[in-house]
Chains A and B, each alone.
Chain A
């Protein structure tokens, strides 16, 4: 590979300023800020009840509203504008901390927010989202695609895909605010509190799911990685430098794993960067297919479906959001059969699996780094893999998830009844922001997914190994492992 190419990817401008905080810690701060503001409702101070929420609609006037009735006077459009202003201010401050161009970010975010949210509102149109006959009667419609409310994430994803593939100059213009990793990390921090409220009612079931999640991901690491690495090396003839990040990207957790492995084995920066672009494109295909596949074949094994999304769909954003869509589709199908499961368990299972996978990335990268630097490309002592790299590669936003989970659990179970009874509503307000960050994530993933990349010269072989490994092995072994550990367990019934 030419030196010029490497230089183009490797070296940021010499004048590029150094960020004061990294994206992980920023996500923790933003997520915790929203969580803490929401908790003010416990002492009857409603600080974020103005955030916009969308209902399934047939008349646009009924589409938007405020999360809290206390702010109803604001109206739906007022709530939308207030949400836009608040997010623009908070995220522009985040962009400043990351030493990005704040003005460019704010302009780009304006486009990202309005297009993404418009897609979400469109996806909530009754003919797309209404599920039951009762809902169809309520909206006066004779047919519906029954995609559910969360199916509207797909609309945001498709809007992003259209921009990426048909309006590349516009995609380039808004790229400063196309940050799926930041958005999903903030969402996952908030999700910790939401999952705590869900788990509080059935703590023993939640503990069982968490232990099964650990077992499932240990299996995934050990079996997935070895097979994909073997396939890449033996069948496709990739060098070690390409095969290791490819195996981690395909088998573990997409972008983060490819980058961690590339760093650990001291690969050139170009390798994980190119693998990452493939990971995103295939994650889009998975999100468009697997939740609907789950609804058809796993409706009566809801937690198998949730675990499967966590194990099979690569990248945090796509996997957790796929868990959300899967939950919505499966709950709707069961509701149509008269079975009403509590929401939150399928999404919680997918998110928990993904969080454990992320935690283990650093450990696995260290193991690979140790083997590479001491046995394969033996390096000087100073460049050998060191234990502290595990902490350096630890995804810090998981600390935020754990904090909001534990605080949420304490508030729901350890406080007097008059406080505990307000916890679900308070965390529900934060959860509205979580939904908005999911929308932004989906849209951003779409904008980054230029399918023309698949046809680029040289990408064909990378795409082939990805396709064979993902759809020929990873997806099905993930299903088998999910079935083994989660079959027969169902979420509690609602009410």
Chain B
């Protein structure tokens, strides 16, 4: 298939794609992932501080 057609197809798809609002499950995934990540950041950071690397 010619490159120009491929480009036009991609362009058309991205421009005309219907808006998909965030579903509750997506919001849950984002919030849970971030929350666990930030909580672990504090916990692992504290462990890292309490048990420094042995040279």
Contact = CB atoms under 8 A, between A and B. Distances in A.
A456 B48 CA distance: 46
Dominant secondary structure of chain B at its interface with chain A: helix
B54 to A, nearest CB: 4
B11 A212 contact: no
Interface string A235-253: 0011110100000000000
A492 interface: yes
Interface string A212-247: 100100110111011101100110011110100000
Nearest to B48: A485
A140 interface: no
A222 B26 contact: no
Given A5-B1, A8-B1, A226-B29, A202 B48 contact: no
Dominant secondary structure of chain A at its interface with chain B: helix
B17 interface: yes
B50 interface: no
B5 to A, nearest CB: 7
A492 B55 CA distance: 7
Interface in B1-39: 1, 5-15, 17-20, 22-23, 25-26, 29-31, 33-34, 36-38
A456 B7 contact: yes
Nearest to A230: B30
B34 A227 contact: yes
A375 B25 contact: yes
A209 B45 CA distance: 14
A360 to B, nearest CB: 13
Contacts of A462: 14
A367 to B, nearest CB: 9
A458 B7 contact: yes
B25 A239 contact: no
Contacts of A209: 53
A4 B9 CA distance: 10
Contacts of B33: 222-223, 225-226
B53 A223 contact: no
B44 A219 contact: yes
A33 interface: no
A208 B44 contact: no
Contacts of A13: none
Nearest to A364: B33
B44 A215 contact: yes
A370 to B, nearest CB: 11
A205 B53 CA distance: 6
Interface in A174-233: 202, 204-205, 208-209, 212, 215, 218-219, 221-223, 225-227, 229-230, 233
Contacts of A218: 37, 40, 44
Contacts of A382: none
B29 A371 contact: yes
A202 B53 contact: no
Nearest to B17: A239
A375 B26 CA distance: 9
Residue of A209, A219, A458 with highest tally of chain B CB at under 10 A: A458
A1 interface: yes
Contacts of B36: 222
A458 B14 contact: yes
A459 B10 contact: yes
B54 A204 contact: yes
5 contacts: A205-B55, A226-B29, A237-B17, A488-B52, A489-B53
A-B pairs with lowest CB-CB distance, top 7: A222-B37, A458-B10, A458-B11, A208-B53, A226-B33, A223-B37, A204-B54
Interface of A: 1-2, 4-5, 8, 202, 204-205, 208-209, 212, 215, 218-219, 221-223, 225-227, 229-230, 233-234, 237-240, 242, 274, 371, 375-376, 456-459, 461-462, 481, 484-485, 488-490, 492
Interface of B: 1, 5-15, 17-20, 22-23, 25-26, 29-31, 33-34, 36-38, 40-41, 44-45, 47-48, 52-55
Given A223-B41, A239-B17, 17 more contacts: A208-B53, A212-B53, A215-B44, A219-B40, A226-B37, A229-B29, A233-B22, A237-B17, A238-B14, A371-B29, A458-B7, A458-B9, A458-B14, A485-B45, A485-B48, A488-B53, A489-B52
